[in-house]
Each structure stands twice: as structure tokens, then as C-alpha cells.
Amino acid sequence: MKSRTRKAAPIRTAPEIETKDAPKRILDAASDLFAKQGYSKTTMSEIADRACVSKGLPYVYFPSKHELLDAVQLRAINNWYAETEKHLQIGEEPPIESLKKGFKYSILYSARDPICRAIMAQDPKLLLPNSEKLRAEIVRMNDEGFTRLFEELRKRRIIRIDIPLTDILTIWRITHDSLIHIHTDTFSWGSTNRALGDLIDSALEVLLGGLLVKEA
């Protein structure tokens, strides 16, 4: 009786192992290093080491450090927008609840993600090229979602219509950005033992207290 021979599993070569999920690992490594060290102090060699790839592989996917930075920032913004937008949809839930959740989630996500936080807070320790332009893009996308909800709330006479929408958005944006700044090392706002989520809830109470239509 002939013995059965088992076929050996294919041996993966070093390049195959190295390039598996390489773009994501390079982006993850770059995000971490840019946030901790800043763009100018981070080298492509350090990024390759952190991503566990050869020194030249990052250049295969990102021809320059600046293009890698662009990819890091774009990924951070797109992830923030996709997640925040989920909470800004008008559906079965009352729009005022969507407004609250979207506001809170947008701040918490920005404060938690180091690249978004660096862009929004314009932190000089983490300041990245083009961050001012990208911050303006975040503000624009954020305004679109909140404008949609505010218009629906005004149409339903849930919030006051005598206050110009542009004023509401400006005050909303200032509060949004200030709460992100509180949780960076850039600005000294005094010590507080309040968790960020609690501060956001209090801010919403104050903001909506002046916006909601009072029942007769």
C-alpha cells in the first residue's frame, strides 16, 4: 500500500509577507509618528521601521513624505466624516437627538484621533503642512451636516427662526472647536475634573436653552 504524501504548504517569501497590508501599516505608523513627533522631525526611515517594512517600501506607495502626509490626513478626515455623518442623519429619531449626538460624537472623535486633533486645534507641537486648509475642509463638511438638521428643526418650529442660521452655525462651531481645544496641551483653560463628554452635555444644555422654542 502506497503511503500518501502530504503536499507542503506554499512558502511565503519575505516580499509577500512584507507587503501584506503594507499601505495600511505604513499609514498607521506615519499617523502615530507624525502625531507624536511632528511632520518635520519624522523620517521615512522611522516610518518604515515602525511599520516593519524595508526602507524603500513606503516610497512604492507614497513617492514622498509629503504625499504620505496627505494620505494620512485624508484618511483621518474621511474616517471622521463617515462616522460623524452616521449620527447626523434624519430618520426615525427626533432631529434634535440627532443634532445632539452628531455634535457630541464629532467632538469626541476629533479629540480622540491625534491627526484630527492636530488639524482642528492647530497645535504648534503637532502642526502639519496644509493643516489650516484641511481644518477649513472639516469645518465645511461639519457645517453641511448641522445645517441640514438646523433647517429641519426650524421648519418644524422646534428651534427659533428669528436667529439667523449663520449666527447659529458660527456659535455652534466656536463651541465645538473650543471643546476640542480644552483637551490639547496647546491651550491653558484651567484645571477641570469634568470628563469631556460631561462638558459637551453641559454645552448642549446652554446652547439649546437659547435656541429651543419655548412652549406657551
Please state the pTM of the whole predicted model.
0.74
Q: Is pLDDT at 147 greater than 50 in this prediction?
A: yes
pLDDT at 18: 57
For residue range 117-144, list pLDDT tens digits in order.
877 777 666 666 666 777 788 888 888 8
Q: What are phi and psi of 80, to 5 degrees?
A: -60, -45
User: In this predicted model, what pLDDT tens digit does every residue of 96-121 receive, in sequence order?
Assistant: 999 999 999 988 888 888 888 877 77
Listed in order, the ranges of the chain carrying CATH 1.10.357.10 are 73-209
Contact 209, 201 (CB under 8 A): no
CATH superfamily of 73-209: Tetracycline Repressor, domain 2 (1.10.357.10)
**Spatial separation of the C-alpha atoms in residues 135 and 138, rounded to whole Å:** 5
CB 138 within 8 A of CB 130: no
State the amino acid at position 127 in one-letter form.
L
Mean pLDDT score of the chain, rounded to an integer?
Answer: 82
CA 178 and chain centroid, separation: 16
Task: Estimate to the nearest angstrom the gap between the alpha carbon of 23 and the chain centroid.
Answer: 19
For residue 91, give the DSSP letter: S
Residues of the chain with CATH 1.10.10.60: 20-63
Q: Which fold has domain 20-63?
A: Arc Repressor Mutant, subunit A (1.10.10)
